[in-house]
Amino acid sequence: MRPGPFMMRRMQFAGRVILAPLTKGGNLPYRRVCVAHGAEVTMSEMAYSYQVVRRSKSELALLRKHADEPCFGVQIAASKAPDAVAAGLAAVERGAAFVDLNCGCPIHDVVRRGMGATLLQRPNHLARLVGEMVKGLPVPVTVKLRLGWSEDDINASEVARLCEEAGAAAITLHARTREQRYTRAADWDWIARLVSERKIPVIGNGDILTWYEAHELWQRSGCASIMVGRGALMKPWIFREIAERQSIEPTAEERVGIYWQFVRWLKDHFREDDKGRERTMRFLPWHLGFFCRYRPLPESQWGAASKLHPLMQTRMADEPDLPLLEQVLRDAREELHLRLADELWAATDAADAVARCLRVGEEMPPVSGEAGEVAVAHG
């Protein structure tokens, strides 16, 4: 029997495939795309708690939940307990079922403010922060960690213990250090270690690109749930793949239909006027930069290789003589993504979107690229 909506019970953090909190990529329209393709637990982009407290419109917008989202969590960055609690309450008022504290974001702006991965260097302060959030919020508080600040300063065990003692309902481990960013494969042995050490649920995160990698890592580590980030940016249907334990390989025409639907939801969110178009174009070409990395990876062909090295970080050459539309969708050029974004915005339906994308390919002959590792997600 599947658990119902999140409440306070820890069991409800088990058996889940969670959309990671993705900077820029975790916008509300894209979360709708993921929900349409099987995502049951979604998370906001990371919100600065002090900006939420200041009533920043842009930051408050990150807390907004869509009615389509069955279970929505908000991730905040904080260094001060009053700000964290206030931001958490604002998230709950807007429909958050749980609040996650970011303790892994490596970017300079977050770190210099004493948030994100900096908290790994101040474990006792972090524990007090979590404790105040647990006392002050009516929903579960979770914590997302990295292994530590650097390979010479790995302290995930100590930090996770302190977070559990402070009342955290679950721990997510992105199994890389702050210094590694995305340059190394995620260390799922460390996730397994944390599972053996902690009583609260541990959620595993890192390098999940296919359904068979997801289930192999889930089983091998024994984690309660898994979190998917970059894989969901490349193919939002990964949630259905994992649930159904099979590869889903949409044609180029079908993928254009998915992207066109995304544009419709961007228009719903930002509106169809000039300002809405401007806002959409801050996101759509960027997303196309991830969509172009999609490759079909059937287990029969790639299963053995995935056990040796994560497919997320495996470069693969394109096969020759692909159809034009497939070449267009795989092209990594930013200028082409800008053109495709314009055409998707202008398209009247999915078929028109396909025709427009083909015209772009005729006018800008495609350049075949390679799929490779890309860093994007916070924490």
365 burial class (0-12, 13-18, 19+ CB within 10 angstroms)?
exposed
pLDDT of residue 377: 41
pLDDT of residue 350: 98
pLDDT of residue 11: 41
State the first-to-last Cα distance of the chain, in angstroms, to the nearest integer: 32
- Average pLDDT (239-264) is 98
Q: Give the largest CA-CA distance in the chain.
A: 60
pLDDT of residue 121: 87
- Name the pTM for this structure: 0.92
Per-residue pLDDT for 369 more than 60? no
Q: Cα separations (Å) of 230 from 317, 374, 378?
A: 20, 8, 11
- pLDDT mean across residues, the chain: 91
Per-residue pLDDT for 134 more than 70? yes
- Average pLDDT (252-261) is 98
Find the angle CA(306)-CA(310)-CA(314) to the nearest 5 degrees: 95
pLDDT of residue 79: 93
- Average pLDDT (289-317) is 93
Out of 7-16, 89-98, 116-125, the most confident range is 89-98
Residue 1 CA to residue 150 CA, distance in Å, equals 41
Residue 24 CA to residue 33 CA, distance in Å, equals 14
pLDDT of residue 66: 97
Q: Cα separations (Å) of 11 from 51, 131, 169, 199, 224?
A: 33, 20, 10, 11, 9
Instruction: Detail the DSSP E strand segments found in 190-289.
Output: 202-205, 225-228
Collapse the DSSP code of 347 into the 3-class scheme (helix H, G, I; strand E, B; otherwise coil) and give the result.
coil
Q: Which of 34, 105, 163, 357 is catalytic?
A: 105
Per-residue pLDDT for 2 more than 80? no
pLDDT of residue 117: 81
Residue 359 CA to residue 342 CA, distance in Å, equals 12
- Average pLDDT (35-56) is 96
pLDDT of residue 313: 87
CB atoms within 10 A of CB 212: 21
Q: Token digits for 242? A: 């994992």
Which residues is 47 bridged to in the sheet? Answer: 76
pLDDT of residue 43: 97
Per-residue pLDDT for 234 more than 70? yes
Confidence of residue 8 (pLDDT cuts 50, 70, 90): very low
Sole residue written with tokens 């702050």: 178
CB atoms within 10 A of CB 9: 12
11-244 belongs to CATH 3.20.20.70:
yes
What are the boundaries of each domain within the chain? 11-244, 252-371
pLDDT of residue 368: 55
Give the residue among 132, 202, 120 at the shortest CA–CA distance from 167: 132
Sole residue written with tokens 């991730």: 75
Residue 74 CA to residue 21 CA, distance in Å, equals 8
Confidence of residue 22 (pLDDT cuts 50, 70, 90): very high
Residue 339 CA to residue 319 CA, distance in Å, equals 25
Q: Which range is least confidently modeled, 20-24, 103-107, 214-218, 234-238?
A: 103-107
Sole residue written with tokens 């101040």: 122
Per-residue pLDDT for 1 more than 80? no
185 burial class (0-12, 13-18, 19+ CB within 10 angstroms)?
middle
Give the residue among 279, 242, 269 at the shortest CA–CA distance from 65: 269
pLDDT of residue 107: 78
- Average pLDDT (234-263) is 98
Confidence of residue 212 (pLDDT cuts 50, 70, 90): very high
pLDDT tens digit sequence for 56-76: 999 999 999 999 999 999 999
Sole residue written with tokens 């995160």: 205
Active site includes 223?
no
Q: Cα separations (Å) of 26 from 3, 113, 189, 285?
A: 24, 22, 28, 15
**Exposure string over 128-142, b if 16+ CB within 10 A, otherwise e:** ebbbbbbeebebbbb
pLDDT tens digit sequence for 143-190: 999 998 767 778 999 999 999 999 999 999 998 886 666 667 889 999
